[in-house]
Structure 1
């Protein structure tokens, strides 16, 4: 028999381990494979360069490329978009210093798919992790999606909330009296802002407040808005006007780059 290629065997072993889990750290891969960490890193970077693996910014864990799973299970659009967006978000964080998130509309909320908060060193909302669901009416990404999505999608979302009012009193007030004006202003500006009385969760800001402020822009892919990206900073610094002036165009360029990377 032809002697097997040991380096290829190791690479396939690592790929197999990645396919078994939604995410694994270098330490976990080391423990599961018994391969030295320097060897593992070379394998992982080789797989990444070949489009077979990627490392999420948010938790630093390695994952199998979604493209490898398309024939095994239905496409996971939030993972695929996160995979495509990750290098662009990292570039934005290096330029702006403040972190950003990628959020995707899912079942009447915005769902966190990727984040550069770990890179920035900014302390996190303790409830914030991949998959965290964010208020549609009060958050900057939610308002960006509502303002720029297709009319039928927006109508469906608002019908849902009229039928099932938000638990947050501020959300109910916005829905009843302010949402049309907010979305018109958002479209005019070209970006969305976080509600001043939004604390980052379903709870009233008096109950829970993560202390952040944010602006967000949509990712425009033809007539679709597959996601939105934001930029966040501590609200106590009062930096919104400066962030808009310094980084709004960087955010728009990042959103365009992500949109252009989406196949089809």
Structure 2
């Protein structure tokens, strides 16, 4: 028990140092000593640990310690994703009231897409469970993944494809077929939305012969200029709706929803304005 208490105390001190550095932007060892009251020897151990973890670095010009850019970038990405979910949630609620089929909001994670939000609980056809939050979706075989990778910025696309080519996962093998990848990207761009691969039945690695959820999906990129922070999809059952009929019914609504999310993200619609537009 004593050992556990010591570990928590050490963590608390490390967090205190990191918080002071983030608040100030840069602090010398003497500054940290004055602000925290911690012995300099203790501070040096903490700073060494944080530096090894990539959370801080030491500036040469004055020896001050600085929070790393990667840490700030991660915090910025999380802030942007929180904003995306906050903006998208009421749009998703309105979408499922219009089309009755469920949707998910997904964001890229280099090797896959990750579900951040879903309106499945509010959908009329609520027997199609989607998500949960954090669920990983195949990048090249799913509608959401194709909608993202086809419309994202070229350097991002190349980084994703290069990583997927090195992947040992069965579900990523498509990345090693450049002609097929080029064809699916061209097709997705031409139609303006992503569709599932014919052999994709919802399982990350397996094909429809092994795992078939009986569903189809389409997905639209959420586009902020050249940047695509995520995608919005609609999922339905093949038995209820043939693909051609589903696309005629669902693509316009999905496109309007994706455009509305982008509009609210780009123009900073306030919560009051959002409530007003929702009626």
The match for 1:246 among 222, 245, 249 is 249
The equivalent residue for 2:75 is: 74
Cα distance, 1:85 vs structure 2:
0.0
How far apart, in 2, do the equivalents of 1:165 and 1:222 lie?
A: 34
Measured after TM superposition, the shift of residue 99 of structure 1 is 1.0
Q: Residue 123 of structure 1: which of 94, 113, 127 is its match?
A: 127
Structure-2 separation of matches of 1:232 and 1:200: 11
1:232 is matched with which residue: 230, 235, 256?
Answer: 235
Secondary structure of 2:170's aligned partner: coil
**2:224–2:266 CA contact under 8 A, matched in 1:** no
Moved more, 195-204 or 143-152: 195-204
SS in 1 for 2:133: coil
Structure 2 counterpart of 1:255, from 255, 258, 261: 258
Secondary structure in structure 1 of the residue aligned to 2:231? strand
Structure 2 length-normalised TM: 0.63
In 1, Cα distance between the equivalents of 2:243 and 2:181?
21
The normalised TM-score by structure 1 is 0.66
Query: Which whole-Å CA distance do the structure 2 matches of 1:125 and 1:94 have between them?
Result: 17
Q: Please list, as runs of the form range in 1=range in 2, the aligned pairs for 1:1-264 lying within 5 A after superposition.
A: 74-75=75-76, 76=78, 77-120=80-123, 121-125=125-129, 128-168=131-171, 171-173=172-174, 175-176=176-177, 177-204=179-206, 205-262=208-265
Secondary structure of residue in 2 paired with 1:98: coil
Taking the aligned partners of 1:138 and 1:175, their CA distance within structure 2 comes to: 13
Q: Deviations over 1:70-90 (max 9, x none)?
A: xxx934233321111001111
Q: How many pairs does the alignment contain?
A: 190
Contact 1:137 1:175 in 2 (8 A): no
User: SS in structure 1 opposite 2:102?
Assistant: coil
Asked if structure 1 preserves the Cα contact closer than 8 Å seen for 2:164 and 2:175, the reply is no
Provide, for residues 14-65 of structure 1, a one-character-per-residue CA deviation record: whole Å limited to 9, x for no partner.
Answer: xxxxxxxxxxxxxxxxxxxxxxxxxxxxxxxxxxxxxxxxxxxxxxxxxxxx
Bigger Rg, which one: 2
1:206 positional shift: 3.5
Structure 1 match to 2:33: none
Preserved CA contact (<8 Å) 2:165 2:175: no
The answer on whether the counterparts of 1:125 and 1:210 sit within 8 Å (CA) in structure 2 is no
Is 1:193–1:214's contact at 8 Å kept on the other side of the alignment? yes
Contact 2:140 2:174 in 1 (8 A): no
Q: In the TM superposition, what is the alpha-carbon distance from 1:118 to its structure 2 partner?
A: 0.9
Q: Does the CA contact (< 8 Å) of 1:79 and 1:113 recur in 2?
A: no
Give the aligned CA root-mean-square deviation in angstroms: 2.2
Aligned equivalents of 1:175 and 1:189: distance in 2?
24
> Gaps spanning 5+ residues in structure 2: where?
1-73, 268-279
